[in-house]
Amino acid sequence: ATPTAVTVGVGRGAELGILIRNGEALEVAERVSTVVFDKTGTLTRGKPEVTDIVPVGINEQTLLSLAASVEKNSQHPLAEAVVRAAEGRGVKVEAATGFDTFGGRGVAATILSETVLVGNRAFLNEKAVAIPGEIESQIVLLEQEGKTVVLVAAGGTIAGLIAIADSIKPTTREAIARLRAMGKEVAMITGDNRRTADAIARQAGIDTVIAEVMPQDKAAEVRRLQEKGGVVAFVGDGINDAPALAQADVGIAIGSGTDVAIESGDIVLVRDDLVDAVAAIQLSKKVMGRIR
Binding region for ligand ADP (CB under 6 A): 39-40, 71, 74, 76, 78-79, 104-107, 118-120, 148, 150, 190-192, 215, 238, 240
30 with 199: CB under 8 angstroms? no
Q: Which residues, in sequence order, are CB contacts of 118 under 8 Å at separation 6+?
A: 67, 70, 71, 82, 106, 107, 108, 150, 151, 152
* 19 vs 235 by CB, closer to ligand ADP: 235
Q: Is 238 in the site for Mg ion (CB under 5 A)?
A: yes
| Partners of 117 in the β-ladder | 108, 153
Site map for Mg ion, 178-207, x if CB under 5 A?
------------------------------
Least distance to ligand ADP, CB of residue 37, Å:
11
Least distance to ligand ADP, CB of residue 229, Å:
26
Strands 34-38 and 250-254: unpaired
Closest-CA residue to 285 (of 205, 133, 183, 196): 183
Has 38 been annotated as catalytic?
yes
Least distance to ligand ADP, CB of residue 71, Å:
6
**Element housing 246 (H / E):** helix 242-247
- Other CB atoms within 10 Å distance of the CB of residue 111: 23
Cα–Cα distance measured from residue 256 to residue 263, given in angstroms and rounded to the nearest whole number: 12
- From 34, 40, 74, 148, residue interacting with Mg ion (rule: CB under 5 A): 40
Q: Is 119 in the site for Mg ion (CB under 5 A)?
A: no
Least distance to Mg ion, CB of residue 237, Å:
5
* 120 vs 258 by CB, closer to ligand ADP: 120
Q: Which residues bind Mg ion (CB under 5 A)?
A: 38, 40-41, 237-238
Q: Which residues are catalytic?
A: 38
